[in-house]
Amino acid sequence: MCILILNRVYLLQLNRCRVHVYFLGLRPLVSGNYISESSRVGTFIPYWLRNIVVQTFPDEVLDLDKSVRTLDLTQNKLVEIPMEISELVNMQRLILASNHIEQLPSTMGNLQSLKAMILDGNRITSLPDELGELVKLEKLSISGNMLMSLPNTIGSLRNLSLLNVSNNKLKYLPESIGICSSLEELQANDNLIEELPASVCNLVQLKSLSLNNNKVNQIPPNILKDCKALQNFSLHDNPISMSQFQQMDGFEEFEARRKKKFDKQLDSNVMIGSKGLDEGVDL
């Protein structure tokens, strides 16, 4: 069947297909319509190229119009991201999970419109300092990689609300993490972290902090007192004890917030999981 007869298509997904990448020249689909010359196919067709088993970035992707908003190349065999990706300056969502990517190009810092970047399940060992130039970034998920540290420039991500660095090889979080003033959720499970930087206490918007299966033996003494929005604090499988936690300043206030949250969930008939009301503080 010729794809060009689909003259009323609004969304095209080619997940789990083995079509040749050159088949993805979609601009003919907009011919014969009332679209101005300045409008481009990338404006309204997100590019999903999941599981088409490509090992290099398709040339078609690099030829995309600058107005493309979403690029999803999940579950392929990509080893690297070309420098030219920086030309997609209006891209807001970049999803490259489950590939073989080892590093990010420094030119990624040019993606000034990027709001979400999902890089879970790759082989990334470090992040470039230019990450801090993504000032509009709200969600960064890079779990299941081989990171040993995070760049200090991460503190420049003032709009970041979710950071997931679980299942890496991190031994510490940088002090600059405390400048991520919009951070609401921090997931750092399954690492080698021994302690948290004191600057974490500056994260007044933080609602959920998860550090399961690390080597945490101490946490900043004022974290419960200063992080006034904190409702969930998960420290399962760490050396720190429940008694240490309960003796911290602000524990009673934290408990009140935690219980209030789950009381609301119960009142709304929302399932809270098998751990019940212990969910909010897991040691």
Rounded CA-CA distance 61/58 in Å is: 5
Report the pLDDT value the prediction gives residue 280, as an integer from 0 to 100. 46
Per-residue confidence (pLDDT) for residue 283, from 0 to 100: 57
Six token digits for residue 222: 């004022």
Residues for the chain: how many in total? 283
Confidence grade of residue 260 (pLDDT, cut at 50, 70, 90): confident
Confidence of residue 23 (pLDDT cuts 50, 70, 90): very low
Architecture of domain 1-124: Alpha-Beta Horseshoe (3.80)
The type of residue at 242 is M
Rounded distance between C-alpha atoms, residue 213 and residue 134, angstroms: 30
User: Please, which pLDDT band fits residue 201 given cuts at 50, 70 and 90?
Assistant: very high
- Look at 11-15, 39-43, 169-173 and tell me which has the smallest mean pLDDT: 39-43
Whether the per-residue pLDDT at 97 is higher than 80: the answer is yes
Which long-range CB contacts under 8 A does 276-280 form with residues at least 24 apart?
279/232, 280/231, 280/232, 280/233
Q: Which of 25, 17, 4 is nearest to 53 (CA)?
A: 17
**Quick one: CA torsion of 52, 53, 59, 64, rounded to 10 degrees?**
40
CATH fold label, 146-283: 3.80.10
* pLDDT over 90 (residue 110): yes
**Within 10 A of 169 (CB to CB), how many other CB atoms are there?**
13
User: Tokens 């080893």 map to which residue?
Assistant: 79
- Asked if the model's pLDDT at residue 60 lies above 90, the reply is no
Min mean pLDDT across 22-26, 169-173, 193-197 is at 22-26
Residue 172: HSE in the Cβ half-sphere, 13 Å Cα cutoff: 11
**Given pLDDT bands bounded at 50, 70 and 90, which one contains residue 282?**
low
Task: Report pLDDT for 274.
Answer: 33
Does 146-283 match 1-124 at the fold level?
Answer: yes
Helix (H), strand (E) at residue 133: none
Are the C-beta atoms of 79 and 44 separated by less than 8 Å?
no
In terms of C-beta density within 10 A (0-12 exposed, 13-18 middle, 19 or more buried), how is residue 20 classed?
exposed
- The average pLDDT across 228-252 equals 92
Closest CA to 161 of 142, 141, 138, 193: 138
Half-sphere exposure of 151 toward its Cβ, with a 13 Å CA cutoff?
15
pTM: 0.79
State percent of the chain over pLDDT 90: 62
Q: What is the pLDDT of residue 133?
A: 97
CA max distance for the chain: 71
> Confidence class of residue 264 from pLDDT cuts 50, 70 and 90?
low
* Per-domain residue ranges of the chain: 1-124, 146-283
pLDDT winner (highest mean) among 4-8, 86-90, 107-111? 107-111
Contact 179, 199 (CB under 8 A): yes
Q: What is the pLDDT of residues 5-16, one digit of tens each?
A: 444 444 545 555
